[in-house]
Structure 1
Amino acid sequence: MTVIANTAQEQAWNGPEGAHWARHQDRWNAVNDGFNAPLLDAARIGGSHRTLDIGCGAGRTTRLAALRAPLGHALGLDLSGPMLSEARARAAADGVRNVAFTRGDAQTHPLGAGAFDAAISRYGAMFFADPEAAFGNIARALRPGGRLALVCPSAPGLNGWVTAMTSLRGILPVGDFARTGEPGMFSLAEPARVRAVLAAAGFTAIALDETRAYGTWGRDAADAADFLLATGPGRHLTERADAPARTRARAALTDHLRAHERPDGTVALLSTAWLVTAERG
């Protein structure tokens, strides 16, 4: 592993946040798997392609990319030791051999000039402290004409989990926790910002298409409420409240989520994302 420049995210994803995602990887895949096919189709992976998965987490999309290119290879890059351990274990259990995982910072990690045909990311490219440096490094790692495909959240209000959490305003100190334009979940929510960053990194043919998918957040409303409150944003809010407020918040969130229960009781929330595509010039 090389020098980590993005130290705040490195600490977060090797602490409680990374442990939570590694421990609940199946639940997070149930939330986000609806974006897998659009992402991989947009990346045009196949045959002997070499794919870089940025912020790969526990490697779901890395393995899928490897399976689409049986004569190629997929490399997952992430800051999180706990999630990469899970990624390696799952690849071994699934028998996916043309895949590897490494811990490193996309802003600084030496990837090799022109080493990849495609770079992908499912909700992993929003956390760069220096997105210009990160995407510049990614561009150098792609061959000329290489393909970039990202899924990143669009406006906070178009995402059901944000609406659910902001419904707790007046109980928890919600404030503006879903800010855009800063390192974090919504740093790439503004199309003009995305275009400017990618163009500066040397990408061309930049396009953003709004993509929507429903994810499953829990077995029922109470289970989904517990899960949401245990996520990073949920912990950020509940840790700043007293015990009675936390109890009220759980009850209020459960009530909010009941409106999103399917006939089988599971909770479905809509996620709205940008499917960002570009090519290395």
Structure 2
Amino acid sequence: MPEIVNTAQEQAWNGPEGAHWARHQDRWNAVNEGFDEPLLTAAGIAADTRTLDIGCGAGQTTVLAARRAPAGRALGLDLSGPMLAEARARAAREGVANAAFVQGDAQTHPLEDGAFDAAISRYGVMFFADPEAAFGNIARALRPGGRLAFVCPAEPELNDWLVAMTSLRDLLPVGDLGTPGQPGMFSLSAPDRIRAVLAAAGLTAVAVDRADAHGNWGADAEDAADFLLLSGPGRHFTAQVDPATQDRARQTLTDHLRAHETADGTVRLRSASWLVTATRP
């Protein structure tokens, strides 16, 4: 495998975090799949499009892109071995032969110049150690006129899951879950930062538009609270307190999530995001 320079993320996504996402891929897809149609439409995927899916995870968006392009192909690129194993199994199970997957670092992976018509990402571009290098590599992989489309989180305070977690600050050591412009999930939450990074990567016609979706986080408030506390941040915070405090935190979070239960009991939380498009000149 080519050199990995984003070593912190490589370790995380091949450790407990990657294993958790691979094991719960269907649940994470239920959280984020509201962005699939807007993302694929923004990328302009047609019957013969060659698509690169950055941070493809367990492969849902890669498979969807491949289905839209029966005369084209889709390649998913991700750091996580456990998630890519699930992605390959998904494509095989669904009989999608024009989807393939490769493990690598988007900052350094040797992508062929001009090999793709479109590049997409659903929440897979926020964790680059060097975003300018990563987007520059992605841009070179697009043909002239090729289109980049990705979804990334907008302001932290507009995301219901994060508001829910911050409700536990009296019980858990919940620190700053996201700082715009700093490495992490909200590194691209400021539109000016997005435009500057993509311009530095040589991309043009950058557009940053709001796109919100309400994802399904659980069958009811108790189920959603357990799922949130099993996520990476949740596990990190609860590991630092005693079992009695963990129980109180779970009950507090459950009570908070009651307000988000729908008529059938499922918990739906808003993810506030940016839908970004750009072009290789």
TM-score (normalizing by structure 2): 0.99
Task: Within 5 Å, give how 1:50-69 maps onto structure 2.
Answer: 50-69=50-69
Q: Distance in 2 between matches of 1:44 and 1:115?
A: 16
Distance, in Å, in 2 between the alignment partners of 1:4 and 1:14 is 13
| Offset of residue 180 of structure 1 | 2.1
Structure 2: distance between partners of 1:10 and 1:120: 20
CA-CA distance at 1:178 after TM superposition? 2.0
Shift of 1:260: 0.5
Helix, strand or coil at the partner of 1:151: strand
Query: What residue in structure 1 maps to residue 226 of structure 2?
Result: 226
**Counterpart Cα distance in 2 of 1:96 and 1:85:** 15
Tell me if 1:78 matches 2:81.
no
1:215-270 C-alpha deviation (Å, 9 max, x unpaired): 00001100000000000111121122222221110000000001100111110001
- Residue 259 of structure 1 aligns to a residue in which SS? helix
User: Is the 2:77–2:104 contact (alpha carbons within 8 Å) kept by the matching residues of 1?
Assistant: yes
1:276 Cα deviation (Å)?
A: 0.4
In 1: Cα distance, 2:124 partner to 2:241 partner:
29
- Where does residue 101 of structure 2 map in the other structure? 101
- The equivalent of 1:146 in structure 2 is 146
Partner residue in 1 for 2:208: 208
Q: Distance in 2 between matches of 1:176 and 1:129?
A: 19
Q: Unaligned regions of 5+ residues in structure 1, if any? A: none
Q: Which moved more, 1:152-161 or 1:237-246?
A: 237-246
> Normalising to structure 1: TM-score of the pair?
0.99
Aligned-residue offset at 1:182:
2.1
- Aligned partner of residue 260 in structure 2, secondary structure: coil
In structure 2, what is the equivalent of residue 273 of structure 1? 273
Residue number in structure 1 paired with 2:188: 188
Tell me, in whole angstroms, the C-alpha distance in 1 between the residues paired with 2:232 and 2:188: 19
- Give 1:183 shift: 2.1
Cross-structure match for 1:238: 238
Give how far 1:125 is off: 0.5
Deviation at 1:179, TM superposition (A): 2.1
Counterpart CA distance in 2 for 1:238 and 1:151 is: 29
Could you tell me how far 1:175 is from its partner in structure 2?
Answer: 2.0
CA RMSD of aligned residues (A): 0.7
Deviation per residue, 1:165-194 (Å, 9 max, x gap): 001111111121222222221111011111
Unaligned residue ranges in structure 2 (runs of 5+): none
SS at match of 2:179: coil
C-alpha distance in 2 between matches for 1:22 and 1:118: 25
| Whole-angstrom distance in 2 between the partners of 1:179 and 1:239 | 23
- In structure 2, how many angstroms separate the alpha carbons of the residues matched to 1:259 and 1:43? 35
* Counterpart contact for 2:153–2:272, Cα < 8 Å: yes
**1:6 — aligned with what?**
6
Runs of 4+ off more than 4 Å: none
**Could you tell me how far apart the structure 2 residues matched to 1:102 and 1:191 are?**
30
1:77-117 Cα deviation digits (max 9, x unpaired): 00000000000000000000001000000000001000100
Residue 22 of structure 1 is matched in structure 2 by 22
Alignment of 1:158-197 (within 5 A): 158-197=158-197
Q: Distance in 2 between matches of 1:220 and 1:139?
A: 42
Distance across 1 between alignment mates of 2:180 and 2:20: 24
Structure 1 residue 76, shift from structure 2 partner: 0.1
